[in-house]
Copies of this chain bind each other. A is one copy, B any other.
């Protein structure tokens, strides 16, 4: 838990960098685990990993107007999401998160209590997964707020124990840890101001405060899953990466894709929303049918929602790996990969 932090409500450009660092130091003070020796206030932080562990690390940046708008949500949610998308990368590897290093760029118009809230959102999410938030760097970014986070986690042993995109095998089932399309629905709700839509608040929540599937990822890795990815770019953005890196095609079944009724009701093109929407941050994994029962048992024991099987990895023969959709009519159609469009 973070300490009570006395903020002035003044703008960052008026209080200056040093006072801001004092505020942030107080916010993260409760967030330091035993093995972290030095946090904010020196040139670097020092951390002692558990003996014999491998370090798993990832970095992800969110930029105002590209990834978020300040009017969409509060600063605390923004902090939550910035850390969540990073933890999701570790979840996809099956690693245990330990540390998050934060670097922020501010225009100077932000108020100190807003930035304290940003950090409170990170610390609250970090606490859920025993992950310490470490200060890092604050800098000026005249045109847009920028939040860049690097997360470090631990894996029990070498690269064979982490889940990789390249480890799918022909005959593996394809499964996802939760519903698809909610976050894309939430973006529409915010953008078009559809808050009164049936299920709208849940969609908004999915977009603004995604839940990184850290526990699911660790159980999957321990249960013997070798191939996973997190769905940040949508099913048709991310599944093709598994296909090309594993040299396999994927066949998914439209009827099996877990699309919430609220999405089906709200959007005529709901299948596109579910396939290409992105930002759900559920895990997609592939697994041999014989291991699935063990996974379900372990998920049930941990009180987690059971994964949904949506299709199967298949040998492409001489052809290029592709993603195919089996429609309710029984007809099979090749789908074009469609990542969330960067540099659109």
Given A47-B54, A48-B54, A146-B146, residue A139 in contact with residue B59 (CB < 8 A): no
Q: Is A95 an interface residue (CB 8 A)?
A: yes
- A47's contact among B57, B61, B164, by CB below 8 Å, is which? B57
Query: A117-125, A152-160, A252-260, A328-336: which one contacts chain B?
Result: A152-160
A173 to chain B, nearest CB (A): 20
Give this chain's copy count: 2
Q: How many residues of A contact B (CB 8 A)?
A: 70
CA of A230 to CA of B12, assembled, Å: 25
- Some 20 contacts from A to B, beta carbons below 8 A apart, are A12-B343, A43-B58, A43-B165, A44-B89, A44-B153, A45-B56, A46-B54, A47-B55, A47-B56, A47-B57, A58-B137, A59-B101, A61-B105, A61-B139, A63-B139, A63-B140, A66-B105, A66-B140, A138-B342, A143-B144
Q: Is A339 an interface residue (CB 8 A)?
A: yes
CA of A140 to CA of B65, assembled, Å: 10
- A136's contact among B55, B59, B136, B159, by CB below 8 Å, is which? B59
Q: Is A108 an interface residue (CB 8 A)?
A: yes
A235 to chain B, nearest CB (A): 16
Residue contact B93 to A57, C-beta cutoff 8 Å: no
Q: Is A315 an interface residue (CB 8 A)?
A: no
Q: Is A49 an interface residue (CB 8 A)?
A: yes
A68 to chain B, nearest CB (A): 12
Residue contact B101 to A150, C-beta cutoff 8 Å: yes
> A290 contacts which chain B residues (CB < 8 A)?
none
Residue of B nearest to A240 (CB): B18
Residue of B nearest to A339 (CB): B17
Given A38-B159, A92-B43, A159-B37, residue A137 in contact with residue B343 (CB < 8 A): no
